[in-house]
């Protein structure tokens, strides 16, 4: 008598009011607007595409050079180059809608009101299932990370976005703070449904022959495997302090094993960022690895992994 086939692994992921078909999403700023990966990624297997950061008006971004490789990672100072929210809605978003992939819009502003205006404008945009308030970008002169370093400022931005939209609200946290739990708590108390962490760590690289920084702005955001231990520690700290709050973990995820670490630390979902530059299909491969691990353990749902670290 043959053995019964194992029950299918449940990939559904619940992030507060937001339900995704899988726990693997793309990280903003590393996946463009999706079309850049056409033919390279199976979009039907992604939980969502988190699009490149949006602002009210078009931005040219930082001057070059604005990317450089580092040991086990990269530095960038792109500076939120984007065509502006109106062009995104009219020209970029339809391609994703045609492919039936959930879209999470990443919001960036220089003022509290700019964040709120973006949230209002995207509230009824087709295909947009959530907004992610980016209060942690290190590569702009105004706004961004300045709002994510102080709990009171965090509360102002998050509260304004919460009032401006009924969409699920994700807040992206900066690691460049003394106490990430204090920032996380301020975001949640002001209306955040989900927290995503971490954004890039501030870093710098110098050409020893020219004696000039390798980035035109001098400093930039460090991403890739080099930051993974920091990211996992911060996910764990926030999960321990706010166990009921859904988390999206990111920072150096290249494999299914990396994703498992984040989920054990407390992340309900994971975002693949720099890994997509190295291997365009990285998000699909990470999901494959998660499925293989889940089946090996005979799990019924990947959600069983969340917060399962043994201390």
- The catalytic residues are 137
Query: Of 279, 282, 227, which is closest to residue 255 (Cα–Cα)?
Result: 282
With residues binned 3-state (H G I as helix, E B as strand, rest as coil), the percentages for the chain, rounded to 5, are 35, 20, 45
Name the maximum alpha-carbon separation found in the chain: 73
Token couple for 223: 């991403």
Rounded to whole angstroms, the Cα distance separating 254 from 275 reads 5
Q: Assign residue 100 a region: left if phi > 0, alpha if psi is -120 to 50, beta otherwise?
A: left
Q: Assign residue 255 a region: left if phi > 0, alpha if psi is -120 to 50, beta otherwise?
A: beta
Rounded to whole angstroms, the Cα distance separating 13 from 55 reads 28
Token couple for 248: 């999206």
């Amino acid at each position: 008598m043959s053995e019964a086939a194992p029950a299918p692994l449940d990939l559904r992921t619940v992030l507060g009011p937001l339900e995704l078909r899988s726990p693997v999403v793309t990280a903003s700023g590393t996946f463009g607007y999706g079309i850049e990966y056409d033919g390279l990624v199976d979009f039907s297997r992604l939980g969502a595409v988190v699009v490149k950061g949006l602002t009210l008006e078009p931005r040219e971004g930082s001057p070059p050079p604005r990317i450089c490789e580092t040991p086990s990672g990269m530095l960038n100072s792109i500076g939120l180059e984007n065509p502006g929210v109106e062009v995104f809605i009219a020209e970029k978003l339809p391609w994703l809608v045609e492919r039936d992939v959930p879209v999470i819009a990443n919001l960036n502003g220089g003022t509290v009101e700019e964040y709120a205006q973006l949230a209002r404008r995207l509230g009824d945009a087709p295909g947009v299932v959530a907004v992610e308030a980016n209060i942690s970008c290190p590569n702009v002169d105004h706004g961004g990370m300045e709002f994510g370093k102080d709990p009171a400022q965090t509360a102002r931005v998050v509260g304004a976005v919460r009032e401006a939209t009924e969409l699920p609200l994700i807040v992206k946290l900066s690691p460049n703070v003394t106490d990430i739990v204090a920032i996380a708590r301020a975001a949640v108390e002001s209306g955040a449904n989900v927290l995503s962490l971490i954004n890039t760590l501030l870093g710098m690289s110098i050409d020893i022959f020219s004696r000039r920084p390798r980035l035109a702005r001098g400093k930039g955001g460090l991403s890739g495997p080099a930051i993974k231990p920091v990211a996992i520690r911060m996910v764990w700290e926030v999960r321990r302090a706010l166990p009921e709050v859904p988390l999206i973990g990111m920072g150096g995820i290249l494999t299914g094993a990396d994703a498992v670490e984040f989920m054990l630390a407390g992340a309900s979902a994971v975002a693949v960022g720099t890994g997509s530059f190295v291997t365009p299909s990285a998000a699909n491969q990470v999901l494959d690895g998660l499925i293989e691990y889940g089946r090996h353990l005979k799990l019924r749902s990947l959600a069983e992994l969340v917060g399962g670290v043994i201390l």
